[in-house]
């Protein structure tokens, strides 16, 4: 009888080990592909995975190539700072000198003919100025979120980015007041400390 129990225990242990060899790697693979750690920097602030950007080598949607490239590069930059969960720990220290980014954006504005697109770039500049002027965590996070959303929506409209939902953060899509404008109005009304 004791010999039977030992054989049964060895057989059971072998089955458990075999199943473990099949199940554990599968579970680990799923965890790798569906966790925040695998999503990393190529996600929106809401955790939506993004595609690699297209190579912009010519005018897109009638917009100057330099403007199109700036939108694409800026979208990637802001994704890296606001992507899945990163925005929750974002502070003004994460940006260093915002004045260079602001100057780069202002230089591109001069190449934009569309007045709605100019408004969007001006809003992006204003949000970046908020980061520079108000380094408190809440202001930085709000400004980074809206700057990302502007570039995200513009990347969709100008570069046909075709990714994730739109945020309604731009004028370029329909010319009306953008969600970004509404929030900026409130920020501009806040008393200075």
- What would the pLDDT profile of 117-170 be if each residue is shown by its tens digit? 999 999 999 999 999 998 899 999 999 999 999 999 999 988 887 766 888 888
Alpha helices in 90-168 (DSSP H): 98-109, 115-133, 137-159
| Close Cβ partners of 159 (under 8 Å, ≥ 6 residues apart) | 53, 54, 56, 60, 61, 68, 71, 72
As a whole number of angstroms, the distance between CA 193 and CA 188 comes to 13
pLDDT, one tens digit per residue, over 38-74 is 344 445 555 544 444 444 444 545 578 899 999 999 9
pTM of the model: 0.66
As a whole number of angstroms, the distance between CA 144 and CA 50 comes to 18
As a whole number of angstroms, the distance between CA 98 and CA 136 comes to 15
Domain boundaries, the chain: 2-34, 41-189
- Contact by Cβ (8 Å): 106, 125: yes
Q: Which of 118, 105, 130, 124 is nearest to 186 (CA)?
A: 130
């Amino acid at each position: 009888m004791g010999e039977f129990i030992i054989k049964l225990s060895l057989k059971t242990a072998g089955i458990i080990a075999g199943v473990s060899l099949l199940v554990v790697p599968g579970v680990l693979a799923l965890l790798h592909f569906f966790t925040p750690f695998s999503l990393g920097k190529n996600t929106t602030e809401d955790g939506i995975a993004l595609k690699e950007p297209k190579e912009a080598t010519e005018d897109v949607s009638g917009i100057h190539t330099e403007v199109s490239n700036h939108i694409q590069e800026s979208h990637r930059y802001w994704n890296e700072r606001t992507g899945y969960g990163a925005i929750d720990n974002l502070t003004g220290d994460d940006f260093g000198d915002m004045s260079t980014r602001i100057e780069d954006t202002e230089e591109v504005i001069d190449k934009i003919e569309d007045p709605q697109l100019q408004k969007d770039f001006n809003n992006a500049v204003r949000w970046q100025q908020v980061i520079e002027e108000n380094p408190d965590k809440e202001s930085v996070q709000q400004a980074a979120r809206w700057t990302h959303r502007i570039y995200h929506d513009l990347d969709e409209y100008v570069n046909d980015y075709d990714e994730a939902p739109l945020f309604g953060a731009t004028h370029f899509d329909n010319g009306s007041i953008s969600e970004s404008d509404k929030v900026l109005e409130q920020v501009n009304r806040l008393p200075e400390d």
